[in-house]
Amino acid sequence: MTNEDIPEIQSIWDDARGYIDRGNYDKAIEIYQYILIRYSDDPIAVEYANAYLGDISLTLRQLALAEDHIKKAISYKPEKPGYHYILGFMYSVKKQWDIAIPEFEIAVAKEPENGEYLRGLAR
């Protein structure tokens, strides 16, 4: 398989992941924002781009952006526990425990053996 055989979106995802792994969040953000524009008609691409933007924003402690993006991802896949965990973690950073705990509980209800999700509830 050559690079020409790889769909553009897969190549873009791989590039963005590489930038994240190297700590170049600005370049990764640029790629995910491009995905939101270029693939705006692809709900899966929009969901994942928002999820990654939410996670990066949380890492950078840009909490308003993190909340906005992860809520957009949740609007596409409300049953996805990882998204609720990220939202709960974001609220915990803000010490908003009254809304963090229910998000962690949603994540744990979906994956009760996930240690990371349990840690959110201090269990």
3-class secondary structure per residue, 70-113: HHHHHHHCCCCHHHHHHHHHHHHHCCCHHHHHHHHHHHHHHCCC
pLDDT of residue 4: 53
Evaluate whether 49 touches 32 at the Cβ level (below 8 Å).
Answer: yes
User: What contacts 33, CB < 8 A, 6 or more positions away?
Assistant: 49, 53
Q: How far, in whole angstroms, is CA 55 from its chain's centroid?
A: 4
pLDDT value at 91 more than 70? yes
pLDDT of residue 2: 44
pTM: 0.88
pLDDT of residue 102: 97
**CA gap 5, 113 in Å, rounded:** 39
Each residue of 32-41: pLDDT tens digit? Answer: 999 999 999 9
pLDDT of residue 1: 38
Domains and CATH numbers, the chain: 1-77 (1.25.40), 78-123 (no CATH)
pLDDT of residue 122: 83
